[in-house]
Amino acid sequence: MAEFTPTVPARVLPSVTVRDLPDPPRSTWRIIGPGLVGAGVGLASGEFILWPYIASQVGLVFVWGAAIGIITQWFLNMEIERYTLATGETALTGFSRMWKHWGLVFVLLTLCSNLWPGWVTTSATMMTYLTGTGEDSVRWIAIGMLLLIAIGLTMAPVIYILLERVIFVKIALVTTLAVVAILFAINADSWIALGKGLTVDARFPVPPLEFALLMGAIAYAGAGGGQNLCQSNWIRDKGFGMGQYVPRLVSPVTGHEEAAASTGFQFAPTKENLARWRQWWRFANVEQASTFALVSFLTIALMSMLAYSTVFGKPGLANSIGFLKVEGEALNATVGPWFGVLFWVIGALSLFASAMGIVDYTSRLASDTIKTVYLRDRAVSVNRVYFIMVWAMVLIGITVLLLGFDQPLILLVFSASFAAVMMFVYSILLIVLNRGSLPAAIKIRSYRLGALVWSIAFFGTLTVLTVIQQAQKLFG
């Protein structure tokens, strides 16, 4: 055939190299993982606190919202993966080809969302429920956890493998909790209420809960914000599609660093390559649906049912970490002290795993953008930039905890808005990227294009509502 000219633009970064798409694996089980990592990192305070809190207030009439949010994010994740499967570049690198600083914009928004160490203090607080040491020990437990995260991510030869193993253990623990809850704590009324909540009793809005809270619960069911963008990095490290040509992120201490091009690849749309693409695309869709989507929804549903069975209608419940203390005490009273302890142990370990994932994905997004866009001609490797980011996040978190600062109201307001803004903007950019930068045969089209239009409308609305609500709280 005639010489193929890559369609990925080179306005900001160098042109991609043309290579054949690698063959899909013979055993697909061997490369299942990125979807579970996405689900495991995303199963944090929203799944353990927010959705159960909603169930405790209004029952299970809103659990359908979790399904809507997760399906929306599945479509988003697949369009993020589409570009990486086809080029080996992350979505942020693709955005940076349109305008040099797009990647940096998303990195800064992600950093601002995650800079305050609330994502580790929730796990530390649950540990105090087990030790009975009180709130004064939270900061010291959290500092220990931060150091453990940084050391673990520094010493692991291949970072993704460590994260995947930690998340697999987390999923196993949450599954154990779910099975025990079904056997001992979730009553028959909860199963009936779940069925009705997904069908005849489904409602929206759901007084007395605020409209913005419900919209936010839908938006961040599963993952949200910068985490979705990191699906690019995780599937690349797992070796999906053209990502097989890109070296994995490794420790500069214990790993073997490889020279890596700062940009990616593209395959010519030959009959053979397109046949391989269809297999990769089919597998990637199934992997995301059967891991990220399914695990996220089942966890939300079961944690909501557990709350409905134990604390539904109980007055004075807070939408905060304190909710888990009350729920654990209720489980102690209704099932037995052993189950409350099990609930807190698994909750603390699960939130710790999420904290490790948050440090990882924030540092991955930052290091990939900094190296590829701003330091591509420098000798420093992406691995070293990654570890600088990891330790910077951890040291900032430790400093905040040692100084005893409370989260400033203005930062809380901004943090509540950042994720919605990000998802609104990158939904638009994904359409531009996957229609303008890829061969015609693999461009986004049809109902998938419609799903991203829905995402733009939904997150655009949520952005406006969140900003209005938070501004009212801030200015009074």
pLDDT of residue 475: 75
pLDDT tens per residue, the chain (476 residues)?
456 778 887 777 888 889 999 999 887 777 789 999 999 999 888 899 999 999 999 999 999 999 999 999 999 999 999 999 999 999 999 999 999 999 999 999 999 889 889 889 999 999 999 988 878 899 999 999 999 999 999 999 999 999 999 999 999 999 999 999 999 999 999 999 999 999 999 998 898 888 878 888 898 888 888 999 999 999 999 999 999 999 888 887 776 766 565 678 999 999 999 999 999 999 999 999 999 999 999 999 999 999 999 999 999 998 889 999 999 999 999 999 999 999 999 999 999 999 999 999 999 999 999 999 999 888 888 999 999 999 999 999 999 999 987 666 666 666 667 888 899 999 999 999 999 999 999 999 999 999 999 999 999 998 888 777 777 776 76
Q: State in Å, rounded, how far the first CA of the chain is from the last one.
A: 67
41 lies in some domain: yes
3-state class of 438 per DSSP?
coil
| DSSP designation for 115 | S
Burial of 459 (0-12, 13-18, 19+ CB in 10 A): buried
* Tokens read off for 283: 């597998």
CATH of the domain at 117: 1.20.1740.10
Dist. CA 159–CA 155, nearest whole Å: 9
pLDDT of residue 139: 93
List the alpha helices (DSSP H) in 222-381.
226-229, 231-238, 271-287, 294-311, 322-334, 337-369
Parent domain of 159: 17-475
pLDDT of residue 1: 47
Strand-pair partners of 265: 17
Domain count of the fold of the chain: 1
290 lies in some domain: yes
Contacts of 441 (CB under 8 A, 6+ apart): 269, 274, 277
Handedness of CA 405, 393, 318, 420 (dihedral sign): positive
pLDDT of residue 181: 96
114 lies in some domain: yes
420 lies in some domain: yes
Dist. CA 310–CA 56, nearest whole Å: 8
What phi-psi label fits residue 438: left (phi over 0), alpha (psi between -120 and 50 degrees) or beta?
beta
4 lies in some domain: no
Bridging pattern class, strands 265-266 and 17-18: parallel
378 lies in some domain: yes
10 lies in some domain: no
Helix 102-114 / helix 409-436 crossing angle, nearest 10 deg: 150
Per-residue pLDDT reduced to its tens digit, 406-451:
666 666 666 667 888 899 999 999 999 999 999 999 999 999 999 9
54 lies in some domain: yes
**Cis omega (within 30 of 0) on the bond before 208?**
yes
| DSSP designation for 245 | G
CB 209 within 8 A of CB 57: yes
How would you write 147-209 as a 3-class SS string? HHHHHHHHHCCEHHHHHHHHHHHHHHHHHHHHHHHHHHCCCHHHHHHHHHHCCCCCCCCCCCC
Among candidate residues 242, 240, 238, 235, the one with its CA nearest the CA of residue 18 = 242
